[in-house]
Each structure stands twice: as C-alpha cells, then as structure tokens.
Structure 1
Amino acid sequence: MIATLARRAKRAAEAVNERRVLVLAGDRDTGIDAAYTAVEAALGATEDDVSVVSTREGFRFEEHRPRRADGLLGRTREAVVLDCHEQFVPNALGRCVGAVDGGGLLILVAPALDAWPATRDRFDESLAVPPYALDDVAGRFRERLVDTLRTHSGIAIVSLGDGPEGRNALSRDALSADSVGGGETVSETQPPTAPPDATFPTAAYEACLTADQARAVRAFEPLSTPGNAVVVEADRGRGKSSAAGLAAGALALSGADVLVTAPAAQNAAAVFARARELVSRDGTDDTESSATAAAEATRNLDVPGGGRVRYLPPAEASEMPGRPDVVIVDEAAALPVRLLDRLLDAPSIAFCTTVHGYEGSGRGFAIRFRERLLASRLAVRDVRLDEPIRYARDDPIEAWASHALLLDARPAVEEAVAGAAVADATYRPLDPTELVADETLLGEAFGLLVAAHYRTEPNDLARLLDAPNLLARALVADGRVVAVALLAREGGLDAATRSEMYEGERVRGNMVPDLLTSQLRDEAAAEPRGIRTVRIATHAALRDEGFGSRLLSEIHAEFGSTGGAFEGTDAGVESTDAEFGSTDAAGDGVDYFSVGYGATPRLLRFWRRAGYRTVHLSTVRNDTSGEHSAVMLRPAGEAGAALLDRHADAFRDRERDGLSDAHREVDADVIRGALRACAAPVPIDLTDAEWRSVVGASFGPGTYDTAPGAFRDLALAALIEGDGADDAALDDREERLLVQKVLQGRKAASVADDLGFVSTAACMRALGDAYVPLVERYGTELALAERERFTTE
C-alpha cells in the first residue's frame, strides 16, 4: 500500500506542480522502513534529490540533524523525510517544507497521531526549564499540528501496523488534484523577454520563469554602478535566489567581481546554479535545483573577461576581501543585523530576504536595519516577488505550513484598531488553551510578535503554547489585540541549583539569574523570584500612544507589590532578543521584574521611565540585534530591591574602568542611557590635590591629564545623576564628550572629529568648560575656594 500511495501522491503533485505530504504514523522503525519504500516507489533511484532529517544516522540519503536543518535553506529537493520521533523541532518542519520542490513529497515519520500530543521528546526537555519538570510541558502545539494534518488538503495519513506483520491503514487521503481543488495540469507559459534598454544579456531574461522574476533581475542592473542597493523580498519559492544568480552571472560577464554571502554555503546553491547556467549559455533546466551539485562542488565561478562570482561566509564577506564590485546577500533575514550593517561598505549591494518564513521573518529590515540602509549613501530600490516558481500558486502544502506554523501571522488590520484609546483597552491574560481554541486571537497576538521582532520562528510558537515558564498578557480594544507581552518566570531556585549555577552549570530559561550568578558572581541572585519581559509589542498603528506603558503598568500591578502607573509612552517599543518559554497561571507576587534587550538610546529611555535600572551591559554585540544587550531590573519587594541595589552599584563600579576597555567603542548615547538608568549613587571622594587639578582645568590653566581618575569619577556622577536642581545641567554634546574622552579614553583628535569641534584644542577647551558646573555641584570648600582664585577680578 505504501508504494502505491507514494506513486499516486507523486503523480498528483506533478500533474499540478504542487507538493504533497505523506504522514506515516506509528512505530518509528516501521515508519522509517515505510519512508524508504515510499521514496523508492515515487522517485526510483534518484537518491541525490532526497534529504532525511533525523536524530539517527546511517541513511543512504543526504542527512541533517533536527537542530541543524537550516542546511536545507535555499535548497530544492524532490523528497524530504522528517523523522518526528525523539526530537521534533518545529523549525525543522518549516525548513523541510520549504525545501520540497513542486511535484515533490514531504514524508513525516511520526508517532501515532492520537498519542503524539502527549509524547515527550528531547525538544520538550528544552522547554522544561528549572524549576519546572518535563511533566509540566504541555502538548498544545502538536495537538494543533495534528488537527491541521487531519483537515488540510494535499495530505495523506497512514496508520502503521505494529511490527513487520502489522497491517497499515490509510486513515486519510486528500492527495488527488480533485480533492485539492481544480486538478488543472501544469501549463506552458511564454518566457519573459528582455526590456528594450536592458544592459544584462537577453539570456538572463529568457531564463526567468515569471514576469516577477524578470522585474527582479532588472532591478539588479543598477548594481553595476557604485552607490546602488536593491532589496528583493519574497515568500519562499518565488525565485528570488534564482533572480540573484542570473544577475550575478550577468554582472560577472560584464567583468564585475561579485561576492555572494549567505548563512551557509549550501544556502547559496541556487544562486551559483543559475549564475553558472547563464555563463555557460546552456541553461535548459527551468528549476532552481539545476546544476546544484556542480555549484556545491565549487564556490568560485571564474568568467572569461575577468569577472567572477565567489562565495564567502558572512563574517569574512563583511571584511570585503579582494575589494568586490558587488555584494549579494541571500537569505539576509537569517543574518545578524550587525553583519548586515558592516556589509553596507560594499560599492553596491543586494539583499534578498524572506518576508514570511522560518529563515527569519524579514522583519530585521523593517525594525532595525531598514532605517540604517535608507540613511546610508546607497540609493535603494525595492522589488517584491509574489508569483510562485517552484510550485503552483495554490499549492496546498504552502497553505498548510503557513497555518500550522503561523508563518503568515499578522496583527489586526490597521482599520480595525485605528482610533483605539489606551484608557478603553482591556488588560487580559492570553491562556494557551484559549489561544489554541481561538485562531483569530492566536494569529493577532503571534502576529504582533512577528511584526515587532527580528526573528520569530515556529519554535517560538511551540514555546508560547507549551513551555511551562511563560505567561502572556495583552491589551485588547474592541476585541482586537493591540499590545502583547511575553513574560518568563525566573529565579526561585533551590540552594543546590544555585550552587551548580555559580560553579558554571548552565540553567535553561533563567537568563537574568544565570547572568547575575555565573557571570557577575552572585550566588544568591537566583533565590528571589522574577518576571522577565521577554518581548513586548504594540500595534504599529498605535505606537507612541501609551499602550506599551499601560501594559507594563498592569503587569507590575498584577505581579508585584509596587505596581501602578508610571511615566512614559511606548516610544516604539520593540521585542527583546532572548528566546522565551510559557505558562498560563499567575500565582502569587514576585520580588522583581527584569528585561534584557538590544540597547538603543530610545529603548533605554523607555525602560528607565518604566522604573527599571541598569545592572549589566554586554561586552559584545548580540548576534540577533546587532546591539550591546542591556539587562535592567525593577524591584517588586524587599528581596528584589536588595538584589537591584547591589547589582546597580556593581554596574556603576564596573563601568568606571570598563568604559575604557570592553565598552570603549560602544555608542556614546547608549552609554549615556545605560548610566542614567543605573541611578546608583556615586560617592565623590577626591583628594585636595585632585580637586585642585579639576578646578585648574575648568577655571584656570590646568590640564585633564594631571588627574584622570578624578575627572572620571565626576563624569560618572554627572552622567548617572543627570540634571540637577541647580544650573549644573550638561547639554547632549557635553555629555557625549565626557563619555568619549574621559570615560572611554579615546584620542582627543578622534573625539573632536566625531563631535564636530573645529580643532583638538577646541575640544579640550570644551571639556574644561563641561567641568565648571560639576565643580559647582560637587566641589568641596577647598575646591570652591580654589575656584575663587580664577573667578575673582
């Protein structure tokens, strides 16, 4: 039966250029044997076009581990087998779906579907963060997934018999073209032609399969001139990588050195395949997978006339070795913003990114990177591809995957929330069971997270529904979700676990306690109970209207003893960078609230106004946000206040010296915001000699170099305490001057250039002037008397 079913599924898929799913549910060994039977029956001996994703090894097909299924990104396969036993990773499912070509099969080897939601595997173990156990993990994600398998078109389910003699039963058959809707066979279409004034070869346009793809190739033409950028956006399977490959080949034929980068070399296979076809002038295969094997064998395509197409990993590519003429970034949404930012040094550049998908939602451009790109020296052109190439427009498996994994989740439409008033919004929990039962509620809440965060993945949907340490809270206006927050319970760990953490053992799901304990060496830090805001998002139509502040205020009131309203608006609040887990019970109060995120001046200001204080600033940039991560606490009880006080003091003391070391290159406005939010008192205890040096540099002929430590202490106090009640306020440039020259110890010439001073001397005079109000605020009697020597006529 398996062989017959597989052949029929393949024929049905090929007839309409769609994909089909076979679910082989039951015993694992029996399922793997059945998968072999299905592949052999449907594809014959074409084993090079088959991939298996499993924790097991020894398959004769290409293998990937579930946690490493990103090796399928940018690939096309005739069949992909996903072993859902032992470690079912939602991200892997998304990547497997995306790799299956039109006319191909996705084969799921799964537990018996009725039992699957209650089955616990290695992925579930990752959700059982201390102090929770594996039994606390729910199975809602898989329950919902099973429902979609039983209701969507294009899917057949086989219930496998036990053992080799067991009888298999076809429990669902929705494979045929008629059952999907239409049964139309693939039709031949007229290939696009080159525009009359095209600069790329005619063959580049004739190789396109849709008008969308031809428009994308056309958009690459300006890259032959420095100073241009193109952003190509598309859902999976629209041919953006093929368009990039044709453009790369055309540019290389004109003599250009084209540098291609992607998360991994195999992700760029389609780019090299199409570039090679164009250059060789024998491209007769109309699929993205053509020439893939040859493209993988080498990542350097030399072209007669001096041009070339070459691949480098992203970190190496960002250094621009060999001074390329053009850089093409494929699967850009999967790369850290920090690397994307460095790639802007290219003479011309293209970013190809997925709009909705498991590589990343593409929202890094909309959230953090788009503004940097538009502010750069590059002239930016955008193009979007909507017409599917590798499979038909109405492919049922695309619809199934989008629904099952919420790849197309979106917030409520703007018209539905426009005019909502913050005072009229209702604060409510988002119970995971209710989310599963209400697809609209789930889609709007998860859609806000997708819209507000660089990379929200299917794994995150599973955490939201199943992980026991997560809470979700929302503001709802007129039945629509307008703001949402994901909250992780942390801390409350027993003495043995705290000791293990202090000695270097990593404890999952406790980001802030782990940081404070293992890195900042506070063994007691994991005893108080905390609520960490993992992500918070406000509908784009309602930004800066106070919804984010209201949501936080309600959270503080619900969980803490010091909750209530506070100053501030949502100020473009985005999500934080950490991953999250899940639960639906509020329970009793907590000792503190916390947050960790990629620090920007605006976000630092928002969280400070929300009552949070800085306790840490990472020494390296976060790979996801491209920023240095800030960790902030807000007390909710005595234990939390004690925890905050000692770590705010420690942060103040670390930064006094650390700003001239690990934080020397951090943006001055980020340092200003982090220090202002620290709010730890700064003791000023200068010697008489140090005060004379400071006063001499401020009012007289003295110099900064005679007592740098004294200048550092006063700068730290001024930046942490901010504006005083007197006339001691510093303007923005003066504060940046204190950060860069005094605390970070940068060269005066560099500081002068960065802050716009006409000369180094002018910069240093301004530094002395900046200390005048600090002498007035902090000076001792001796200091003020010393000042009189220079101010009395």
Structure 2
Amino acid sequence: MIAELAVELQREAERANERRLLVLAGDRSRGIDAAYDAVAAVGVDDDAVSIVSEREGFRFEEHRPQAAGDLLGRTRAVVVLDCHDRFVPNALGAAAGAVDGGGLLVLLTPDLDRWSRLRDGFDESLAVPPYGLDDVTGRFRERLVGTLRRHPGVAIVDLGGRDAEPTIERDGLTDPPAATPRSTPVVPANAAFPDAAYAACLTADQARALRAFESLSTPGYAVVVESDRGRGKSSAAGLAAGALALAGVDVLVTAPAFRNAAEVFARARELVSRGDGGTFADAEDPEADDRTTQASDDRTTQASDDPTTLSTPAGGRVRFLPPAAAADAVTRPGGPGCVIVDEAAALPVRLLERLRSAPAVAFCTTVHGYEGAGRGFSVRFRERLDEGDHRVRDIRLHEPIRYAAGDPVEGWTFRALLLDARPAVDEAVAGASVADAAYCALAPDDLLADDHLLSETFGLLVAAHYRTEPTDLARLLDAPNLVVRALVADGHVVAVALLAREGRLPADTRRAMYEGERVRGNMVPDVLTSQLRDEDAAAPSGLRTVRIATHHAVRGTGFGSRLLDGIHDEFADAIDYFSVGYGATPRLLRFWRRAGYRSVHLSTTRNDSSGEYSAVMLRPVADAGAALLDRHAVAFRDRERDGLSDAHRDVDADVARGALRACPAPPAVDLTETAWRTVVGSAYGPGMYDTAPGAFRDLAIAALTDGGLDGLDAREERLLVRKVLQGHPWETVADDLGYVSTSACMRALGEAAKPLVERYGTAFARRERERFVDG
C-alpha cells in the first residue's frame, strides 16, 4: 500500500515538475522500513537519496540533524527526515530545500496525535537551567501537524502499532496539470560576457540576472539580485564571477559560510574550465562589441588545491573570504575589483555597509531562506545603497529552476516554518502614535491560536534581525525561559521584544560554569562567570533582551523606548537586573545607555557573521544586581585601559567611546608630580606626550567614562582613543581623523590635554600650569 502510494505521488510530481510530501507516522522502525519500500518502489538509485537522522547505518547518504544545512545547494531525488530522536526545525527546511522537482520529501514522525506531547533531543536544548524538560511545551509541533493535515500535496500514512495495518489518512494527490516548459534564455545583443556563460543559464530570469552582472566590470555599479530559494541566483552569480575572472578581474566572494557560496564557485569553475571567456565589451557602449577579442584555445585554469580560490591566466581570480575579513579586504589598498555577496540577507546591515565600499558590488539575497534570513537588507540597507554613490540595478528572479511555480511542498514549508512571515503593512501602522499603543504580553498560547498575530510578531523579529531561523520559531512557542512583550496599535504589532530569563542558578551549577562547563540559555551569567571569572555572577536573576524590534514605518518615533519602559515597569520587582548583549555599534550603544544600561564587557574577538565586537550591558533594579554591576563595570573600565592597546586595538573609536561612556568614572586620577609636569607641559608648554603615555591613558579613561568630559569635542575624544588608548602611530591617527599633518595631530592632542588638566589637575598641576599661562 505504501509503495503504491509513493509511486502515485512520484508520478504526479514528475508530471507537474513539483514535489510531494509523504508522512510516515507511528513506530520508528516501521517508518524506516516503509521509507525503504517507498524508495525502492519509485525506482530511485540509492546515491540520489539522503537521510537526515540521529542514527547511523543506512545505505543512503547520511546527515545529522544539526548538519542538515550541508544539503542546501544540493539536488536530491528523495530526502528522508527522521523526526523521532531529534526534530530540528532548521533540518526540516534544509531537507525540503534539497528535493528536486519530481522528487519526494519523506518525514518519519511519531503518531501525529501524540507528537506534541513527546519530548526529544531538540526539546532538551530548550530546557535551559533552571528549567527542566517538563517545562518545554509542544506548541510548534502542534501547529506543524495542523499544517500537515490541511495543506495540499501532503500524504499522511498512519503506521499504527507493530501488528496493525497502516492506514492512509491523506493521499496527498492534487491531480495537477502537466508542467509548463521553462522560459528559454537568449544571449542579449552586444553581450559583454561570453556566449558560454549565457548558454549555461537555464531560464530567461537567469539570463537577465547575468546581463545585469555585466555592469560589475565597470566601477561605480551595484547589482541587487533577490529571489526565493531554487531560482538560480547563486548560479548566475557564479557565471558572472567566472566571466569577470577570465577578463582579469579580482572577484571577492563572501557569504555567511563557504558552503553558502559553493554553488557560486561550482558555476565559476565550470565556465573558466571552458577557456573561452575572452575580454569584455563595454556594457555601456553598444559599439564596443566590435572590440571584443577571444582568448586563445589553449586558455586553461591555473590549478589550485584551495577550493576557495580560482585563478585564471589573465590574472583574474575568484576567491572567498568570510564576511568580516572580506569587509577588511575591501578597505585595504589593492583590494578586489569586484565583490559578490551571496546570502546578503543573512548578514547584518553594518557589515553590508562596509562591503558597499567596493568599486563594484553585487548583493544576492534569498527572500525566504530555509536556514535563516533577515529583512534588515531589504528594509534598511536598500535605502542606504540607493542613497550612495553606486548606480544600482535590481533583478528579481521568479521562475523556479528545480521545480515548477506553485510547488505545494514549497508552499507548505513557507507556512509551517513561517518563512514568509511579515510585519504589518506600512499603511496599517504609519500613523500610529506612541500614546495610542497598548503594552501587552503575547503569551505563546495566544500566538498559537492567532496565526495572523504570530505572523506579524515573528515577521517583525525577522525584519529587525540579520538572521532568523526556523528554530527561532520553535523557541518562541516552546522555550520556557522566553517571554514576548509588544506594543499594539489598531490591532497591529508595532514593536516587539523577545526576552530571556537568566540566572538564579544553584551553587553546584555556578561552580560547574566557573570550572568550564557551558550552561545553555544563560548568556550573560555565562560570560560573567566563565570569561570574567565571577563564580557568583549566576546567582542574581536577570531578564535579557534577546531582540527588540520596531516596525520600520514608525522607527525613530519612540516606540522602542516606550516598550522598554513597559518591560522595566513590569519586571522590576521580579528580578535583580536587566541585561542585553548585541553587536556593538555607536547608535546601539547610545540607545542602551540612554535606557539606563551600563557596560560590563566587550568581546575580545569580532563575531564572524556580524563583524562587530559584542557588548554586554546591565541595568540593576535590586541590591544584588547593583552589586553585580558595580564590580563588573569597574572591572571593564580598568580592563579597557590596557585592552584598547591590545585585543581591542582595532575597535572603532566611536564604539570605544560609547562603551566607555556607559561606565563609572574612576574616583580620582592619581598621577605623580613628574607625570603632571609632562601632561601640563604637553598642554601648555614644550612637554611631549611620548614621555608619559601612561599618565595620558589614565586621564583619557577618566575623561571618556560616565558621560565624557565637557570641553572635549567628538574628534578630540576619538583622538584620545586612537592615539592614547589604542597607541596607533601618529601618521595613522592623523590620516584617520583628518588632520592635515602629524604635527597638527600632535598639537591637537596638546589642546585636548587642557580640559584634562582643568578637570583632574591637582594643586601642584595647577601651579605648574600657571607658569605657562601667566607667561
């Protein structure tokens, strides 16, 4: 029976060039046997089948659930997802994304009526201390089962007990029409890229994208390519990268990880290996096509054992760097001639800003990503790109390549994982005022019962963050340590905060953390305990803002601050402190400082994806929280005195200023008379900074903490950071801060020392100053 159903599903999928979903619900062993029968019945070779499972020993290609992302970019005839031991939502998205048109996605699940009440390995990851597994709920799976039972193209087989006969709950057949042939790509007139690149395109959409990529041969152009997954944008980017490299261009490719860019390199390598790239016609000059020359027949790709680098005899290359390293490479002398950013929506806006400074740049982004995407790109970064110096070309790919438009498995995946979740439309909230918005708790049961409310809430979190994954939806609905608070105006969510309860851990857990054991879901206590060596840091109770988002149509009008005020009022009597951790930028540091939060930590390395140093800040509301802040804020201030010339030597000056401004000032600046002679002489006479840098460092820390010092402007504060605290060479500092010469920069530091003497100088220092002022 199951074999016959699988054959019917596969035949229908092939006829329509769609995919079908087969759910085998019940006993796991029976499910595996049934999956083997289904694969055998449809006549698929074992090497075209993958299984995602915690267990081993299958004859198919195996993937563990946590590594299912390795399937993305692959094409498989059948993917079997074992949901019994560890059902990871991200793995569901990756498994679905790998199935080719005419193929089957097979889910092995527990009995659907019981599934939401069962707990597995993924649920254990949600049971963060001090909560236990019994505190985790099954709302995400309850919702998932509902979508399985309602959506077209989903067949469900109830396997029953060990001795029962399977029954077909739904056959999943839709009787679709035959597939419509794909659009035919053509080589554009006066194309600058070689014909071979266009011949490799599979749809007219791809050919249009490739045509737009031609502009990258000219500095000053930017290309934006958007699509849902499976439309061929990465392939088009790879063909463009290969064509550019064949003409001698240094093409830098970046993405959240190299596996995200694997398709780009595969297509680039295929084109380069043909050896007929030639040189470019000018894409902006129709007459230039006559000047195009062809490369010799013996053009070959230079061999390389490094899969992240592809070189050509013309001196061009395609190379990969992680996002933060790529942003650094763009700003260095001799940087790449062109940058291609794949999966751009999965990168933070500030990092995209740095990549934008490349001479020519392309941003390729998945609109609804199975492994996580954010709309910071489309909502915020696009405005900045349009306002910049680049001439922007937009391409949107609509036609699927691996399966037909309207594929039911794609539609079900979007629905089940809320990949298409969106905030309220701009018109619905544009006129909202802070005074009219209602502060409210969004309980998980309320979100589960109202799919519109859930979509607006989750969509707003997606829009505000550079990467949101299907797993985050499961956490939102099921994790016992998370709570959601929002502002609602006219029935629409205009601001939302995702909050995590942390701390209040028992002594044995705190001891284990101190000795190196990682404790899930307690980010701030973990940092303060394991990294900053405070064994008592996890004893007080905290509430951490994991994410806070305001609808972009009302951003900057006070909704975020109003939401925080509501959170502070509601929870102040229930916890010891509020906290937040985030990629530090000057704007965010300013926002959180104004909300009453103070700096306690700045990570010693940049986040690989965001390219930022992560800041941790606290706002105490009880004595235990105040004591925690006191010892760590002071320690942070004292640590940065030396850390800014070591691990934080490349921290942006405004980030350093913002982090220090949210610290308490030292009670006094204790300098010797000899040190004061040098400082006063540098400010008012012939003294030199270089003879007492330590004294200047103490004064700079004092001036920059707890709100800064009157008498210093922003450039002078940056000068204190760049020269005094970070110890950069005079020439570098003068260039970075726009001084006309190193001498002017040195004189500026002397001027900046005057308010330091006025504010912190001792009686001896003032007498020393009078010798020069009176003269």
TM-score (norm 1): 0.88
| Rounded Cα–Cα distance in structure 2 between residues aligned with 1:504 and 1:541 | 45
- C-alpha spacing 1:7/1:275, structure 2 compared with 1 (3 Å): farther
Q: Per-residue deviation at 1:782?
A: 1.3
Pick one of 612, 628, 633 that aligns with 1:643. Answer: 628
Cα displacement string for residues 738-764 of structure 1 (whole angstroms, at most 9, x for unaligned residues): 111111111111111111111111111
| Rounded Cα–Cα distance in structure 1 between residues aligned with 2:308 and 2:721 | 45
Bigger shift: residues 254-263 or 684-693: 254-263
Check if 1:440 corresponds to 2:438: no
| Rounded Cα–Cα distance in structure 1 between residues aligned with 2:239 and 2:32 | 39
| Rounded Cα–Cα distance in structure 1 between residues aligned with 2:249 and 2:767 | 70
Q: Per-residue deviation at 1:708?
A: 1.7
8 Å CA contact 1:75–1:267 kept in 2: the answer is no
Q: Per-residue deviation at 1:678?
A: 1.3
SS at the partner of 2:424? coil
Q: Which amino acid aligns with 1:719?
A: L
Q: Per-residue deviation at 1:135?
A: 0.5
Q: Per-residue deviation at 1:403?
A: 0.9
8 Å CA contact 1:191–1:207 kept in 2: the answer is no
Q: Per-residue deviation at 1:390?
A: 1.9
**2:292 corresponding residue in structure 1:** none
Check if 1:780 corresponds to 2:762: yes
**1:86 corresponding residue in structure 2:** 85
Q: Per-residue deviation at 1:372?
A: 7.9
| Rounded Cα–Cα distance in structure 2 between residues aligned with 1:310 and 1:655 | 36
SS at the partner of 1:771? helix
Pick one of 173, 176, 181 that aligns with 1:175. Answer: 173
8 Å CA contact 2:620–2:626 kept in 1: the answer is yes
8 Å CA contact 1:10–1:104 kept in 2: the answer is yes
Check if 1:656 corresponds to 2:641: yes
8 Å CA contact 2:324–2:610 kept in 1: the answer is no
Q: Per-residue deviation at 1:238?
A: 1.5
- C-alpha spacing 1:345/1:65, structure 2 compared with 1 (3 Å): farther
Bigger shift: residues 408-417 or 48-57: 48-57
**1:757 corresponding residue in structure 2:** 739
| Rounded Cα–Cα distance in structure 2 between residues aligned with 1:697 and 1:308 | 51
Cα displacement string for residues 137-169 of structure 1 (whole angstroms, at most 9, x for unaligned residues): 000000000000001000000111333x54111
Check if 1:146 corresponds to 2:158: no
**1:293 corresponding residue in structure 2:** none
**2:720 corresponding residue in structure 1:** 738
Check if 1:355 corresponds to 2:400: no
1:450-489 equivalences under 5 Å are: 450-489=462-501
Query: Structure 2: 5+ residue runs without aligned partners?
Result: 276-304
Q: Per-residue deviation at 1:228?
A: 3.8
Q: Which amino acid aligns with 2:632?
A: H
| Rounded Cα–Cα distance in structure 1 between residues aligned with 2:398 and 2:678 | 68
**2:749 corresponding residue in structure 1:** 767
User: Superposition RMSD on alpha carbons, in Å?
Assistant: 2.9
**2:580 corresponding residue in structure 1:** 595
- C-alpha spacing 1:356/1:86, structure 2 compared with 1 (3 Å): same
| Rounded Cα–Cα distance in structure 1 between residues aligned with 2:726 and 2:593 | 23
Q: Per-residue deviation at 1:502?
A: 1.2
| Rounded Cα–Cα distance in structure 2 between residues aligned with 1:637 and 1:54 | 47
Q: Per-residue deviation at 1:639?
A: 1.0
Q: Per-residue deviation at 1:265?
A: 5.8
8 Å CA contact 1:405–1:461 kept in 2: the answer is yes
State the aligned residue count: 745
Cα displacement string for residues 190-219 of structure 1 (whole angstroms, at most 9, x for unaligned residues): 513222222223454454343322211111
8 Å CA contact 1:367–1:453 kept in 2: the answer is no
**2:300 corresponding residue in structure 1:** none
Q: Per-residue deviation at 1:281?
A: 7.8
Pick one of 550, 555, 567 that aligns with 1:555. Answer: 567
- C-alpha spacing 1:228/1:362, structure 2 compared with 1 (3 Å): farther
Query: Structure 1: 5+ residue runs without aligned partners?
Result: 178-182, 283-295, 562-588
SS at the partner of 1:450? helix
% identical equivalent positions: 72
Q: Which amino acid aligns with 1:132?
A: Y
Pick one of 533, 541, 551 that aligns with 1:539. Answer: 551
| Rounded Cα–Cα distance in structure 1 between residues aligned with 2:494 and 2:328 | 42
**1:159 corresponding residue in structure 2:** 158
Check if 1:388 corresponds to 2:381: no
Q: Which amino acid aligns with 1:738?
A: L
- C-alpha spacing 1:678/1:692, structure 2 compared with 1 (3 Å): same
Q: Which amino acid aligns with 1:504?
A: G
Q: Which amino acid aligns with 1:632?
A: M
Cα displacement string for residues 699-758 of structure 1 (whole angstroms, at most 9, x for unaligned residues): 11111122222211111111113355xxx4210111001111111111111111111111
SS at the partner of 2:181? coil
SS at the partner of 1:389? coil
| Rounded Cα–Cα distance in structure 2 between residues aligned with 1:616 and 1:302 | 43
- C-alpha spacing 1:39/1:595, structure 2 compared with 1 (3 Å): same
| Rounded Cα–Cα distance in structure 2 between residues aligned with 1:276 and 1:659 | 43
Pick one of 732, 747, 750 that aligns with 2:729. Answer: 747
| Rounded Cα–Cα distance in structure 1 between residues aligned with 2:558 and 2:62 | 50
SS at the partner of 1:626? coil
| Rounded Cα–Cα distance in structure 1 between residues aligned with 2:416 and 2:312 | 44
**1:117 corresponding residue in structure 2:** 116
| Rounded Cα–Cα distance in structure 2 between residues aligned with 1:758 and 1:395 | 62
Pick one of 211, 221, 231 that aligns with 2:224. Answer: 231
Cα displacement string for residues 284-326 of structure 1 (whole angstroms, at most 9, x for unaligned residues): xxxxxxxxxxxx9988878798877677777887787998765
Pick one of 594, 599, 606 that aligns with 1:614. Answer: 599
Bigger shift: residues 126-135 or 380-389: 380-389
Cα displacement string for residues 26-64 of structure 1 (whole angstroms, at most 9, x for unaligned residues): 11111111111111212x242232211111122222211
Check if 1:17 corresponds to 2:10: no
| Rounded Cα–Cα distance in structure 2 between residues aligned with 1:324 and 1:763 | 31
Bigger shift: residues 353-362 or 518-527: 353-362
Bigger shift: residues 306-315 or 377-386: 306-315
1:343-422 equivalences under 5 Å are: 348-363=360-375, 365-366=377-378, 379-422=391-434
Pick one of 610, 627, 631 that aligns with 1:625. Answer: 610
**1:71 corresponding residue in structure 2:** 70
SS at the partner of 1:436? helix
- C-alpha spacing 1:682/1:738, structure 2 compared with 1 (3 Å): farther
SS at the partner of 1:88? coil
8 Å CA contact 2:722–2:728 kept in 1: the answer is yes
8 Å CA contact 1:137–1:467 kept in 2: the answer is yes
SS at the partner of 2:548? strand
Bigger shift: residues 49-58 or 137-146: 49-58
**1:424 corresponding residue in structure 2:** 436
SS at the partner of 1:678? coil
SS at the partner of 2:54? coil
